[in-house]
Structure 1
Amino acid sequence: MQPEVEHIRKLVQAIYPLTEAEWLDLEKIWTPVSYKRKEIVTMAGEKEKYLYFVLEGVQRVVYLDEQDREATLVFTYPYSFGGVLDALMQQQPSRYFYETLTPSSFLRAPFAHLQELMDVHPNISTMIRKGITAALSGVLERIVELQCFSSEEKFRKLMQRSPHILQLVPHKYLANYLGIDPSNFSKLINSVKI
């Protein structure tokens, strides 16, 4: 199998250790795919067919309403799982877009193959559940930040959690992610000591 799969193995083993036989079955379902900058990977209204693993680039899950207002929900970058996870796991049309912000390379696994492995290997099912539970915990924490924190507190929290993100993601998307006006975001970058 391609050497990039070792990155998946490290992440999977950190979430929930698999046996060698389980891992060998899991590693077979991944195939490489690449996208250009600002390309839609998953369209709102379509089913999410794949679980992605990011090898290169930065992406975001974004909500777009009828008046073209957008809300950046999450960023993905190496070496993490990506895609619109709720649409994937429920096999329902996505409410969100999954978009590349930079040229991006992934490994992707079809949901049908992932589901088969979860049915055959309880440990793979447990690993997926634990990964999704951790993601849900992060989402709940972020909702508290958005609703309760000042702009400066949101910025500081982001810098504590992901200090590298200022170099990865264009600042207008970070401002949107935090729910901060872009000009105020620029002021925070220049004034807040991390």
Structure 2
Amino acid sequence: MEKSTLKKTVCRTVSLTDAEWTAFADCWHPVRYKRKTLLTSAGDIEQFLYFVEEGVQRAFYLGDDLAETTLVFSYTGTFSGVVDSFQLQQPSRYYLETLTTSQLLRISYPDFARLLDTYPALERWVRLATAQALSGALERQIELATCGAEEKFRILLTRSPHVLQLIPQKYLASYLGIDPTTFSKLLKSVRL
């Protein structure tokens, strides 16, 4: 029951007693998926929250014109899943897929809900983590609405320079809301 990276990640936000950590850690189970595996489809209710031990995933929206818009990436040391569908137990509007072979830990919704009902520290962790995620999503919304292509590109590379080695350019371009050709030109011309 190693799960040390999961513990470090959670304990950056809240302190857990040994009993709280043990109860929490016991509910996370390892799973492995091949590259390009669809974990959640639009219309499904997300049954799991994931913690990424290795690999890269993306959540994306599929428009009526069948154009994909990448919403978020998850990678080693982060949480993954369609979190709104998971927490609200409502059908997802999004898809979640692995971009690479992925080694994940996952917790089921019934275990998650039971732990939150039992341990106030875990409920506090979820509240704070959700607030942090909402803050990041609102910041990203402002960037998408107010920044030009080059500025969005610079922000991405300043905040997460490692993504260029992890994620194919076409998905990064989709995430930024820019054309792949523009992304390629920016990659060649922009220096930080």
Query: TM bucket by the smaller chain?
Result: over 0.9
Post-superposition, which runs of at least 4 consecutive aligned residues in structure 1 deviate over 2 A?
Answer: none
Gap runs ≥5 in structure 1: none
| Alpha-carbon distance in structure 1 between the residues aligned to 2:64 and 2:185 | 30
Q: Note the alpha carbon deviations across 1:2-55, whole angstroms, 9 max, x for none.
A: x2x111000000021211111111000011111111110111111100110001
Partner of 2:33 in structure 1? 35
Identity across matched positions, percent: 50
In the TM superposition, what is the alpha-carbon distance from 1:111 to its structure 2 partner? 1.0
| Alpha-carbon distance in structure 2 between the residues aligned to 1:23 and 1:104 | 24
- Please show how residues 20-99 of structure 1 align to structure 2 within 5 Å: 20-99=18-97
| Alpha-carbon distance in structure 2 between the residues aligned to 1:38 and 1:87 | 21
| Alpha-carbon distance in structure 2 between the residues aligned to 1:66 and 1:181 | 19
TM-score scaled to structure 1, two decimals? 0.97
Partner of 1:159 in structure 2? 157
In the TM superposition, what is the alpha-carbon distance from 1:167 to its structure 2 partner? 0.3
Q: Note the alpha carbon deviations across 1:130-184, whole angstroms, 9 max, x for none.
A: 1111111100000000000010000000011101000000000000000011011
Q: Name the SS of the counterpart of 1:15 in structure 2.
A: coil
- Please show how residues 1-194 of structure 1 align to structure 2 within 5 Å: 1=1, 3=2, 5-194=3-192
Q: Name the SS of the counterpart of 1:93 in structure 2.
A: coil
| Alpha-carbon distance in structure 2 between the residues aligned to 1:24 and 1:118 | 14
| Alpha-carbon distance in structure 1 between the residues aligned to 2:150 and 2:55 | 27
TM-score scaled to structure 2, two decimals? 0.98
Root-mean-square deviation over aligned CA pairs: 0.7
Aligned length: 192
